[in-house]
Amino acid sequence: MPGDLTSYCQGICRTVKQWTGIPISIGIAPTKTLAKLANRLVKKGFSAHGAVLDWRILESPDEVLASIALDDIWGISRRWSEKLQALGIHNALALQQTEPKRMRQHFGVVMERIVCELRGSSCIPLEAMPPAKKQIMTSRSFGEKLTEFADLRAAVTHFAARAGEKCRRQQLAAQALTVFVQTSPFDTQHPQYGNSATTEFELPTDDSATLIRSAHQGLKRIFREGVSYQRAGILLPDLLPAGVAQMSLFESGERSVRSEQLMATLDNINRLHGKKTIHYASETLSNRWHMRQQFKSQSYTTNWRELLTINI
């Protein structure tokens, strides 16, 4: 890391602002918990260095901690805050000065780590890579209520294809698929209904065609005539890293290779030429499920066709 972290982080803030238009703030500290507090203080205008605050150079950190409410500390919920106050602990400084083992007896190891982090002892390690997801869900409320199976089928096809794409991007494979539908909980004029169907796979898969077939089968089992559906979605639970599952004795390795090659080709073409350049036909049989997006903002920084223009 560079020696002058404040200048380095200021450069990050300027670059992000220039490239995306999004203002950000950065907190610097010996621990994650203190860094989060420093970041929060920046947003309240506490820093003399613009969008960056280095906790280590604060003149009176105890006074700052005394001004921070318990539920402003990363990892402390409102319920924990109320319980701490019942124990006579009313701010971040009082929590920092509490014996960590005592906090462990009342709240468990998470609170013990928070106290240690407030004292400057790092207990929560940095993650160079985010942990692999355990499940993926794609779901959306519809632009209008749907009553026809074909409309729901088109929506579910899109959700399943999108879920498969996410799996492949994160190098994961699904052991099962759940498709669900539901009506609007606020619609008192029509019958309420919600249901789901789950299919388990013999082998974990990231093949969109397999996911779509399972989604269609599940949708057939739970669809009811005369119901006004407001939402549907696909859930892939219990994900595994791709390639770790043992092949079945009767499974054709050649078929698996073909599937991988087909999905890789599909993803590459869509990545190079734009989303949905190649897609499954049943996705386009109906567009009634699409969100209206009547008041969608222009994509000034990500779409050449929607660049901001100024007439002089």
Res 285 pLDDT > 60? yes
pLDDT higher for 7 or 45? 7
What is the share, in percent, of the chain residues with pLDDT greater than 90?
A: 54
Output DSSP code: residue 132: P
- For 21-25, 67-71, 243-247, which range has the lowest pLDDT when averaged over its residues? 243-247
Which pLDDT score, from 0 to 100, does residue 94 have? 95
Q: How far is CA 52 from CA 24, 44, 310, in A?
A: 9, 12, 33
Which pLDDT score, from 0 to 100, does residue 251 have? 58
pLDDT higher for 157 or 125? 157
Res 245 pLDDT > 60? no
Which pLDDT score, from 0 to 100, does residue 250 have? 54
Coil, helix or strand at residue 179: strand
**Residue 105, amino acid:** Q
Q: Give the alpha-carbon dihedral of 205, 207, 210, 214, to 10 degrees.
A: 70
**Across 63-82, average pLDDT:** 91
Tokens of 194: 């919600």
Tokens of 210: 């397999």
Which pLDDT score, from 0 to 100, does residue 234 have? 96
Coil, helix or strand at residue 89: coil
Res 233 pLDDT > 60? yes
Residues 6+ apart with CB under 8 A from 269: 277, 278
Nearest to 173 by CA among 213, 140, 133, 139: 133
Burial of 165 (0-12, 13-18, 19+ CB in 10 A): buried
What distance in Å separates the CA atoms of residue 299 and residue 308, rounded to the nearest whole number? 9
Res 276 pLDDT > 60? yes
**Residue 132, amino acid:** A
Q: Which residues are registered as beta bridge partners of 88?
A: none
Task: Let me know: does 22 contact 51? Beta carbons within 8 Å.
Answer: no
Instruction: Please state whether beta strands 26-28 and 52-54 pair in parallel, antiparallel, or not at all (unpaired).
Output: parallel
Confidence of residue 73 (pLDDT cuts 50, 70, 90): very high
Residues 6+ apart with CB under 8 A from 288: 142, 143, 144, 146, 151
**Residue 133, amino acid:** K
Give the distance from CA 143 to its chain's centroid: 23
Across all residues in the chain, what is the average pLDDT? 87
Which pLDDT score, from 0 to 100, does residue 172 have? 92
What is the DSSP track for 202-246? EEEE--HHHHHHHHHHHHHHH--TT--EEEEEEEE-S-EETT-SP
Task: Let me know: does 116 contact 109? Beta carbons within 8 Å.
Answer: no
* Structural domains in the chain plus CATH codes: 1-58 (no CATH), 62-126 (1.10.150.20), 136-283 (3.30.1490.100)
What distance in Å separates the CA atoms of residue 268 and residue 70, rounded to the nearest whole number? 48
pLDDT higher for 109 or 283? 109
- For 208-217, 252-261, 270-279, which range has the lowest pLDDT when averaged over its residues? 252-261
